[in-house]
């Protein structure tokens, strides 16, 4: 056991107040878990602080709140025996030290009071079992029964106890192991990795919502591919996102191969992560090719084809989001849109015409920049000349978009002539001709036949109305 002092970590006034409250209640308290880990790794000041006390966690939280100047409200979660309060910009969670035992078919443990040692035993990983004492006699002392400090130095994720039992008891820990490995760029200990693979099917007892929380943290990491490669290696990805696994592998027919779209996808996600922190844009990158598996065909004349994979992929996004109980709101629609349009700028790049750019901006609206970022991330060629040429082409598209947008104002396009004005001009009741005229005006603007302004659109309406045999009133 280490006997190092980390008083520096707990110099904030909140910790001395917790010490005072613990003295009044005659209990020992410790700061434990992520706060300690991130302090040692110098990952910045943690805003979430876990306090464990050898006693009643709810009673301690209430006593701490009573000693604070602003007397913050204490949220009590009786089911879990925990309490939470907010002080300055920190969230503090209080829990009594406990030991746990699990039933085979549930991740919800039987909980009973325990010692600090019991509490550290139940922690998921050695690096999260580190505790700093808040007791006045050994204030700041690090309590590290599993050599978590050494694992932090070596960059290793391992469980305090038998990994097979740890993961079987609470299968969400498998996702957490991979998430921490991704966020911290750590290695998962070999025994631990084997235990994850062995217990992969146990993930079925975890709610989709909790799985997605961990998945999003992997997607939000600096290099998400670390996590997805581990998920694939341990058979967890097959359970969560079989659509990605379906992209794996290369087929050869008559000497013609296609690229492995699984590994390509991971490259794209890593690429886009350098350009954006937007979780949903990263999801779009992850799913941009999922339509390729069901649309893959071999044509003797042209080789491998993936016709309409963008359309098929965008339809798959909805089913995937629904299955994982992810939001089916504007976030899902954003991902759908980008998957659907993901190839448009690539086609456009070879011949950048004003009309094609206007149509792209019209279809994409405010998401045009996100789409271009996705397309640039989609360049994974290892040929430096090709890489440079593709990027230059996309830069030309971006410049053309800017030029066309400044001149024609197509983004979030609203027709200059309303249906009501058409009805009034030609004294019409609701009829097919109104829609025909509106469509004709829109097409003329997008094709560059007329400018995007009222007078030109009005004159064009009169001309087209005459062609349809309509009379001005």
Range in 5-9, 49-53, 273-277, 389-393 with the lowest mean pLDDT: 389-393
Between CA 65 and CA 59 the distance in angstroms is 10
Environment class of residue 411 by beta-carbon count within 10 Å: exposed (0-12), middle (13-18) or buried (19+)?
middle
pLDDT at 352: 74
pLDDT at 110: 63
* 106 has a pLDDT exceeding 70: no
CA 266 to chain centre: 14
* 324 has a pLDDT exceeding 90: yes
Residues 6+ apart with CB under 8 A from 75: 83, 84, 85
Locate tokens 């309406």: which residue?
461
pLDDT at 1: 39
pLDDT at 250: 76
CA 130 to chain centre: 28
pLDDT at 326: 97
Q: How many CB atoms lie within 10 A of CB 470?
A: 20
Residue 113 in tokens = 């009071």
pLDDT at 4: 82
Longest dimension (CA), the chain: 96
Q: Domain 7-154: give its CATH architecture.
A: 2-Layer Sandwich (3.30)
Question: By percentage, how much of the chain surpasses pLDDT 90?
Answer: 70
pLDDT band at 249 (very low <50, low <70, confident <90, very high): confident
C-alpha radius of gyration, the chain, whole number: 30
Given the DSSP bridges, would you call strands 90-96 and 48-53 parallel, antiparallel or unpaired? parallel
Residue 54: its H or E element: none
**What stretch(es) of the chain map to CATH 1.10.110.30?**
155-240
Determine if the pTM surpasses 0.95: no
Between CA 248 and CA 228 the distance in angstroms is 12
**Partners of 31 in beta bridges:** 51, 132
Locate tokens 């007397």: which residue?
71
The dihedral region occupied by 352, where left means phi > 0, alpha psi between -120 and 50, and beta the remainder, is: beta
Between CA 421 and CA 29 the distance in angstroms is 74
Given the DSSP bridges, would you call strands 90-96 and 82-87 parallel, antiparallel or unpaired? antiparallel
The dihedral region occupied by 55, where left means phi > 0, alpha psi between -120 and 50, and beta the remainder, is: left
14: nearest Cα among 119, 94, 120, 116: 94
Terminal alpha carbon distance of the chain = 94
Helices 330-341 and 368-377, interaxial angle, to 10°? 50
235: nearest Cα among 200, 207, 189: 200
Range in 62-66, 183-187, 294-298 with the lowest mean pLDDT: 294-298
pLDDT band at 381 (very low <50, low <70, confident <90, very high): confident
pLDDT band at 260 (very low <50, low <70, confident <90, very high): confident
- 131-133 β-sheet, strand order: 75-77, 82-87, 90-96, 48-53, 29-32, 131-133, 142-143
CATH (residue range 155-240): 1.10.110.30
Mean pLDDT of 5-32: 95
> Running DSSP on this structure, what letter comes out for residue 113?
E
pLDDT at 103: 62
Mean pLDDT of 62-69: 96
417: nearest Cα among 452, 393, 391: 452
- pLDDT tens-digit readout, 440-449: 999 999 988 9
**What stretch(es) of the chain map to CATH 3.30.460.10?**
7-154
* 3 has a pLDDT exceeding 60: no
Range in 246-255, 332-341, 387-396 with the lowest mean pLDDT: 246-255
- Cα distances (angstroms) measured from residue 180 to each of 114, 218, 223, 227, 232: 27, 8, 12, 9, 16
Beta-strand (E) ranges in 142-186? Answer: 142-143, 156-157
Residue 357 in tokens = 């750019």
* 107 has a pLDDT exceeding 70: no
* 248 has a pLDDT exceeding 90: yes
pLDDT band at 2 (very low <50, low <70, confident <90, very high): very low
Between CA 339 and CA 315 the distance in angstroms is 9
Residues 6+ apart with CB under 8 A from 38: 44, 46
Mean pLDDT of 241-250: 93
How does the average pLDDT of the chain come out, rounded?
91
Residue 273 in tokens = 């992560």
Mean pLDDT of 56-64: 96
- Cα distances (angstroms) measured from residue 319 to each of 219, 312, 324: 19, 11, 9
């Amino acid at each position: 056991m280490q006997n190092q002092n980390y008083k520096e970590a707990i110099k904030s006034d909140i910790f001395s107040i917790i010490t005072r409250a613990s003295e009044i209640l005659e209990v020992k308290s410790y700061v434990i878990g992520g706060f300690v880990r991130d302090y040692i790794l110098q990952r910045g000041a943690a805003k979430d602080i876990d306090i464990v006390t050898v006693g009643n966690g709810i009673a301690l939280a209430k006593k701490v709140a009573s000693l604070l100047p602003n007397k913050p409200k204490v949220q009590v979660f009786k089911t879990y025996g925990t309490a939470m309060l907010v002080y300055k910009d920190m969230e503090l969670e209080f829990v009594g030290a406990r030991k746990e035992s699990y039933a085979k078919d549930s991740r919800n443990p039987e909980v009973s009071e325990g010692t600090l040692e019991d509490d550290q035993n139940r922690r998921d990983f050695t690096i999260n079992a580190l505790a700093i004492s808040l007791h006045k006699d050994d204030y700041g002392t690090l309590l590290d029964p599993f050599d978590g400090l050494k694992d932090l130095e070596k960059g290793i994720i391992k469980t305090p106890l038998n990994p097979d039992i740890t993961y079987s008891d609470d299968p969400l820990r498998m996702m957490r192991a991979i998430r921490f490995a991704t966020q911290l760029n750590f290695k998962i200990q070999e025994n631990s990795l084997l235990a994850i693979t062995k217990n992969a099917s146990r993930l079925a007892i975890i709610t989709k919502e909790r799985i997605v929380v961990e998945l999003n943290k992997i997607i939000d990491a600096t290099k998400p591919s670390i996590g997805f490669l581990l998920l694939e290696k341990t058979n967890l990805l097959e359970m969560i996102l079989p659509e990605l696994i379906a992209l794996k592998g290369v087929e050869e027919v008559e000497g013609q191969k296609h690229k492995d779209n699984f590994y390509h996808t991971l490259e794209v996600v890593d690429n886009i992560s350098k350009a954006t922190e937007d979780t949903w844009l990263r999801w779009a990158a992850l799913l941009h090719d999922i339509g390729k598996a069901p649309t893959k065909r071999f044509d003797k004349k042209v080789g491998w084809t993936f016709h309409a994979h963008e359309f098929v992929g965008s339809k798959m996004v909805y089913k995937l989001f629904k299955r994982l109980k992810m939001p089916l709101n504007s976030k899902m629609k954003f991902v759908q849109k980008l998957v659907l349009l993901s190839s448009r700028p690539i086609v456009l790049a070879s011949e950048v015409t004003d009309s094609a750019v206007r149509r792209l901006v019209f279809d994409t609206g405010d998401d045009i920049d996100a789409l271009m970022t996705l397309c640039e991330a989609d360049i994974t060629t290892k040929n430096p000349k090709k890489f440079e040429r593709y990027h230059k082409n996309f830069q030309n598209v971006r410049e053309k978009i800017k030029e066309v947008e400044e001149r024609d104002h197509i983004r979030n396009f609203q027709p200059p002539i309303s249906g009501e004005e058409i009805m009034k001009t030609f004294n019409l009741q609701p009829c097919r001709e109104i829609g025909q005229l509106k469509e004709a005006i829109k097409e003329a603007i997008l094709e560059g036949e007329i400018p995007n302004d009222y007078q030109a659109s009005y004159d064009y309406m009169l001309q087209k109305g005459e062609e349809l045999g309509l009379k001005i009133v």
